[in-house]
Amino acid sequence: MTLTVHAAPASRARPDVEMSVDLAGMALPNPITTASGCAAAGRELAQFFDVASIGAVVTKSIMVGPRSGRPTPRMAETPSGMLNSIGLQGPGIDAFLEHDLPWLASRGARAVVSIAGGTVEDYAKLAAKLRGAPALAGIEANISCPNVEDRGQVFACNASAAATVIQAVRRAAPTGVPVFAKLSPDVTDIVAIARAVVDAGADGLSMINTLLGMVIDTTTMRPVLGGLTGGLSGPAIRPVAVRCIWQVHQALPEIPIIGMGGVRTGLDALELALAGASAISIGTVVFNDPTAPLRILHELEDALAARGIERFVDAVGLGHRAPEPRPRAYPDPPGSDADTVQADTVQADTAQAGTHQADIGRLDPAAEEST
């Protein structure tokens, strides 16, 4: 992996686009945040840009006690992405509150603290510990963890278990601090999980988490990762993120979504916003370009200005608008040569579509059964 550090852009007037957002009462100056797990608590990025200049720093998921994580190797590059098997290594909540949040507060940054646990009680303890914490803007409940009380089943993959965690976090969390449930794409119906956690008290959603994946070294003929499986992130998962965000926003349009998954550019961020994301988290790309959060913020501003959009919030969910009719620029009278050409074209397109459908039927057993 090559490290790319972009030079600070030459001083120039920024586009006059209003970028501020309000996510269930969490007011941010712009919609760009870090993604949990990719920049710890922000210290590593501070040497490249002012961490207070982005909307918020979403911290690495923190647990009740110190955790050493999974065995090495822990990372593997894949086409258009990477697998990580870190295992939520961290110092524990007490050390985090003593060292990391005060540092973020000293930099004027806003923190969304990501919490993770093996039991519902763990999540409740962590949320309660955050009462009175400095710089705290929001809480992200990372429910993509094994439930040790239920045969290791992942909380996020079961609507009832996910709802139980969020209900406990909401009850224990500081009053007025929004709680965001982080959803996994490794489910059959992500909308059902989203409804369950919102009904349980989630103020918003973070999505998507990584997809479970695996790599085998064909030379050693053994799994590459010490923990066998890992979370797939990077550009390869962006279409999955767009689909999940689209589906959930369509079902729950009033619920703010912090979207993430393979964002590398301002146009990638805009794509997630058009699907329904109210804010955008930047993750894997920072391993290659640690200036990416600020760069993407500026690229997103430019993209909005180029499209005549004066406020970021006006782009959120804009992809869901009804299709606009496309009248011909120069209508021709019925019976004209152009009208005849258009009719011939429609007939040709219809014939081609029929041939294409027949091909699909031959290639796809499911399609064949349905015809």
- At residue 328, does pLDDT exceed 70? no
Residue 203 reports pLDDT greater than 90: yes
> 90-94, 146-150, 173-177, 248-252: which range is least confident on average?
146-150
Annotation says 157 is catalytic: no
pLDDT above 70 as % of the chain: 85
What the block records as the tokens of 339 is 């009208």
Query: What's the pLDDT score for residue 260?
Result: 98
Residue 370 confidence (pLDDT):
38
Report, as an integer, the average pLDDT of 170-192.
97
pLDDT at 325: 83
Backbone angles phi, psi at 161, to 5 degrees: -65, -40
115 strand-pairing partners? 62, 141
Distance CA 32, CA 73 (A): 31
Whether residue 113 is predicted with pLDDT greater than 50 in this model: the reply is yes
Q: Where are the domains of the chain?
A: 21-320, 337-370
Average pLDDT, the chain: 89
According to the model, what pLDDT value does residue 35 have? 97
Over the stretch 120-162, which tens digit does the pLDDT of each residue have? Answer: 999 999 999 999 999 999 999 999 887 777 777 899 999 999 9
Query: For residue 86, which of 166, 135, 158, 142 has the smallest C-alpha distance?
Result: 142
Instruction: Flag whether pLDDT at 352 surpasses 80.
Output: no
Q: Confidence class of residue 12 from pLDDT cuts 50, 70 and 90?
A: low
For position 7, what pLDDT does the model report?
Answer: 55
Q: Does domain 21-320 have CATH number 3.20.20.70?
A: yes
Task: Say what the pLDDT of residue 273 is.
Answer: 98
Looking at the predicted structure, is the pLDDT value of residue 3 above 70? no
Peptide bond into 208 cis (omega under 30): yes
Catalytic entry in 38, 145, 157, 244 = 145
Looking at residue 329, its pLDDT comes to 60
pLDDT of residue 152: 75
Q: Are 63 and 88 a contacting pair, CB within 8 Å? A: yes
Residue 355, pLDDT score:
47
Q: What is the pLDDT of residue 146?
A: 76
Residue 52 CB neighbours (<10 A) = 17
Q: What is the pLDDT of residues 15-48, one digit of tens each?
A: 899 999 999 999 999 999 999 999 999 999 999 9
Query: Each residue of 231-246: pLDDT tens digit?
Result: 999 999 999 999 999 9
Say what the pTM is. 0.85
What's the pLDDT at 270?
98
* 347: pLDDT strictly greater than 60: no
**Is the model's pLDDT at 362 over the cut of 80?**
no
Pairing of strands 21-23, 26-28: antiparallel
Burial (Cβ within 10 Å: 0-12, 13-18, ≥19) of residue 40? middle
71 within 8 A of 134, measured Cβ to Cβ: no
